[in-house]
Structure 1
Amino acid sequence: MSAVLKKPLINAAGQKLGTVCDLAITPDEEFPIVSQVLIQRKGQTYAVGWDKVVLFNPTVISVSSSVEQLERYQETGHEIHVKRDILDKQIVDVNGAKVVRVNDLKLGRHKDALCLMSVDVGFRGLLRRMGCEKLWGIVQREIPEREISWEYVGHLEANAAKLTLTMAREQISEMHPADLAHIISRVPMKNIQTVLNSLDDETAGEAIHELEPELRSRVISELDSERASDILEEMSPDEAADVLGDLSAEKAEELLGLMDAEDAEEIQELLEHEDDSIGGMMNNSFIAIPVDITVAEALSEVRIQAPEVDTVYYAYVLDPDERPLGVVSLKELLVHDGALPVEEVMTENLKCVQIDDDPKDILEIIAKYNLIAVPVLDEDEKMVGIVTVDDILERFLPLDLKLKRHPGY
């Protein structure tokens, strides 16, 4: 693309009609098609239809029109211009899990039309625009290509005159939440919703929770309230509580009111605890089973509850008053005879903490006993939640890099 910008446009008689300043494109199923060549002539912009183009290459751009046949370009607001709307804008490099700038664009023939084939996001594209590609090649033997095919970038839509971001939806939804959060943090605030619109609610929630609290709050606050509440419903209760706890009381109440009543109630329970307390860290969603069942029945119960629970390493054995009697790991349920009573394979004497204890108490327990999660009890010794090793790592890892993450029990 950069090779044809500022090139003279001539007609069959060799008469210069103007200087190429941009290309107008039309979205298509595969690649955007060049529909008009825009030129500058005497301070005015003119448009030449692609059907008038005779030659188009970095050396010669020739059309069949005369000066008298040139038509003044009229902006309608629906056009997509390659230079104005795509060049120097940002896209998501899914493979590199980062936001990159479009340094140049590659045009090519496809089905008898000139199309936008790929975007160049590498150093070579930048050198080409600066006119230094050949000079750099003398010093460096190879200049690596960094092109992203348009099929992996996405398709332009109508009214995209202010396009600044586009991406491959299927690929970006498969990225790790931490990588998505990194991308979101690098994208201008006005374009973050474009990223989130490419994600399902569950993936969007995972990515949002990975953001720094300040940015996380801004993102949720600027989302449509219905979409924000849908995303919060897909998050685990403790993560949703983290997000809502950073918002104003009015905004948090509004979003809770839009959520499913059961989900909202679980999150509200967590919001009642201080952020720096065990109650504020815990997740009140965990797998609980009765004591009077077999291993096979317990495994079946785990399957039923697992879709609604984040941590499925353990099933906690509770009495009728919801007090913990023991714990059994998923591994133990898988390797033991299904006919055995759960009571025979469970581990008793759980290491528990009280809801008002200092979070450092959990740090010591997890580090000492190599646990993935620790049960939390209320003042009546009833089990009300768990705190996972991930929650502890998030809070204490900068202070204790030696904390182990191997499962115990």
Structure 2
Amino acid sequence: MNVIIGELFISSLLGKNAINDLGQDIGKLIDLVMVPGETFPIVSHIILKNRRGLCSASWEQISLFNRAVISVSMETADSLPLHTDADGEIFIKRDILDKQIVDVDGAKVVRVNDVKLGRFNDLLCIFSVDIGFRGLLRRLGYERFGDSIAGILKQQIPDNEISWQFVQPLEMHTSRLALTVARDQMKELHPADLADIIEQIPVTNIQTVLNTIDSETAGDTLYELEPEFRTKLIEQLGSEQASDILEEMAPDEAADVLADLPEEKAQELLGLMEADEAEEIQELMEHEEDSAGGFMNSEFLSIAGDMTIEDALRQVRLVAPDIDTVYYAYVLDDEDRLEGVVSLKDLLVTPANTVISELMEDNLKTVQVNSEPEEIYHLMTKYNLLAIPVLDEEGRMAGIVTVDDILQHFLPHLVRRKRHMYH
């Protein structure tokens, strides 16, 4: 049985001499090979360096493993097989130490200063990573000196460790060491937090983040990025992946993203999308950017005036999953002309057999597709509207402008990270 004494930091192990059963020096520890485990990533081999070069010993061969002694069951160093770097192997020092990772619990990107190991089911596992100043001092060999200085100043150097269950490595090959908890929590991060993470990491690592989330969340995240960075990212993504992400976005947001791209690239991505969705986005792109047509979302809830509340709610449940904004249901006639509006609250609290035409508000506030931002802002603030209908030249309803869209025009830096609070 392997003997592991206490929890260990990789910084205290690197460079330590390993001995054989006869007490002879067989090499210095320079790294540990990790593989996925059921509960934590586990050490499968240790890597030693001696006069023959790099050698490896399997975990089953190790009889003692602690800060003072690393003992391998063999007679001579020549018994150790020479190590060749196999595809897919993950090394703690080479691949994790000093690398950026995502702390999914704190929703931030951090750098690994040290790695804590420990015993679990008689295996050596990664328990946590140290991202704090103490870990850095330990790496440099100054932890005790740092504690002494802190004691003189009557301060403490805080521990700052992240349990491995909340770690998402960013290198593609190391990401397989992420635990289910981390993967699930990564999917639940707010798009604004994911955007912050993506903007802090190298472009080469972004695919790892995108691989952990669905296309709809990826679309929301893409829209949260600064336009210049977003354009660079789309250029890096494959066209098929980029078009898939754009298809999952609200049409007005997809139009905004495409409008920032070079015309040739935008048309290429539109050509890869479903024809109906591409046509809808293209129409939005043709409106002036600073107009109601440029702000509006062409997807909205619509119902008929002769429906009952029960029928309307059934319709809402059917279409709402595919619509980004569900503040109001708009009552349209057969020619898509606006007759009235009903709030979602009214639909929920009114008796089921009530006819929509008896409930709807017909004193409507609307804007035209060419209306300017100031007019939209004035109407929405005066009448306390969360969304306002947009009519085309023939008086048909073309879409809606939501409060977050118009506020973003006037307060872009304040609103950009808060836009999804309304959705």
What's the TM-score, normalizing by structure 2? 0.86
Give me the whole-angstrom Cα distance separating, in 1, the residues matched to 2:317 and 2:81: 69
Pair 1:89 & 2:99 matched = yes
Task: Give the one of 261, 268, 283 matched to 1:269.
Answer: 283
What is the Cα deviation at residue 156 of structure 1?
11
Q: Deviations over 1:262-281 (max 9, x none)?
A: 22221111111132222111
What is the Cα deviation at residue 154 of structure 1?
5.7
Pair 1:389 & 2:403 matched = yes
Give me the whole-angstrom Cα distance separating, in 2, the residues matched to 1:35 and 1:365: 66
Q: Which residue of 1 aligns with 2:114?
A: 104
Give me the whole-angstrom Cα distance separating, in 1, the residues matched to 2:135 and 2:250: 44
Deviates more, 1:338-347 or 1:190-199: 338-347
Alpha-carbon RMSD:
2.7
Asked if 2 retains the 8 angstrom alpha-carbon contact of 1:32 and 1:155, the reply is: no
Task: Give the one of 82, 90, 102 matched to 1:72.
Answer: 82
Residue pairs, 1:316-395, within 5 angstroms: 316-395=330-409
Q: Cα gap change, 1:13/1:395 in structure 2, threshold over 3 Å: closer, same or farther?
A: same
Give me the whole-angstrom Cα distance separating, in 2, the residues matched to 1:339 and 1:58: 76
Deviates more, 1:185-194 or 1:57-66: 57-66
Give me the whole-angstrom Cα distance separating, in 2, the residues matched to 1:377 and 1:218: 35
Asked if 1 retains the 8 angstrom alpha-carbon contact of 2:26 and 2:50, the reply is: yes
Q: Which residue of 1 aligns with 2:19?
A: 10
Q: Deviations over 1:154-178 (max 9, x none)?
A: 6999x93x77995722101111111
Give me the whole-angstrom Cα distance separating, in 1, the residues matched to 2:373 and 2:169: 49
Q: Cα gap change, 1:171/1:182 in structure 2, threshold over 3 Å: closer, same or farther?
A: same
Q: Which residue of 2 aligns with 1:149?
A: 163
**2:115 is matched by which residue type in structure 1?**
L
What is the Cα deviation at residue 80 of structure 1?
1.7
Asked if 2 retains the 8 angstrom alpha-carbon contact of 1:91 and 1:166, the reply is: no
Residue pairs, 1:191-270, within 5 angstroms: 191-270=205-284
Q: Which residue of 2 aligns with 1:171?
A: 185
Q: Which residue of 2 aligns with 1:133?
A: 143
Asked if 2 retains the 8 angstrom alpha-carbon contact of 1:39 and 1:46, the reply is: yes
Q: Which residue of 2 aligns with 1:27?
A: 36
Asked if 2 retains the 8 angstrom alpha-carbon contact of 1:92 and 1:165, the reply is: no
Task: Give the one of 37, 45, 55 matched to 1:36.
Answer: 45
Give me the whole-angstrom Cα distance separating, in 2, the residues matched to 1:21 and 1:303: 60
Deviates more, 1:82-91 or 1:60-69: 60-69
Asked if 2 retains the 8 angstrom alpha-carbon contact of 1:55 and 1:62, the reply is: yes
Q: Cα gap change, 1:272/1:151 in structure 2, threshold over 3 Å: closer, same or farther?
A: same
Query: Structure 2: where are the runs of 5+ without partners?
Result: 1-9
Deviates more, 1:377-386 or 1:111-120: 111-120
Give me the whole-angstrom Cα distance separating, in 2, the residues matched to 1:116 and 1:215: 34
Percent identity over paired residues? 56
Report the count of equivalent residues.
Answer: 400
**1:263 is matched by which residue type in structure 2?**
E
Asked if 1 retains the 8 angstrom alpha-carbon contact of 2:98 and 2:111, the reply is: yes
3-state SS in 2 of match to 1:173: helix
Q: Cα gap change, 1:264/1:114 in structure 2, threshold over 3 Å: closer, same or farther?
A: same
Q: Deviations over 1:337-364 (max 9, x none)?
A: 3333322322222111111121121111
Asked if 1 retains the 8 angstrom alpha-carbon contact of 2:127 and 2:163, the reply is: yes
What is the Cα deviation at residue 129 of structure 1?
1.3
Q: Which residue of 2 aligns with 1:308?
A: 322
Give me the whole-angstrom Cα distance separating, in 2, the residues matched to 1:305 and 1:12: 71
Q: Which residue of 2 aligns with 1:290?
A: 304
Give me the whole-angstrom Cα distance separating, in 2, the residues matched to 1:260 and 1:126: 52
**1:335 is matched by which residue type in structure 2?**
V
What is the Cα deviation at residue 87 of structure 1?
0.8
What is the Cα deviation at residue 45 of structure 1?
2.6
What is the Cα deviation at residue 42 of structure 1?
4.8
What is the Cα deviation at residue 287 of structure 1?
1.3
In the TM superposition, structure 1's runs of 4+ consecutive aligned residues that sit over 6 Å from their partners are: 162-165
**2:316 is matched by which residue type in structure 1?**
V
What is the Cα deviation at residue 248 of structure 1?
2.2
What is the Cα deviation at residue 43 of structure 1?
8.8
Query: Structure 1: where are the runs of 5+ without partners?
Result: none
Asked if 2 retains the 8 angstrom alpha-carbon contact of 1:10 and 1:63, the reply is: yes
Give me the whole-angstrom Cα distance separating, in 2, the residues matched to 1:250 and 1:289: 38
Give me the whole-angstrom Cα distance separating, in 2, the residues matched to 1:182 and 1:155: 16
3-state SS in 1 of match to 2:60: helix
Q: Deviations over 1:197-234 (max 9, x none)?
A: 10011111111111111121222232232222222121
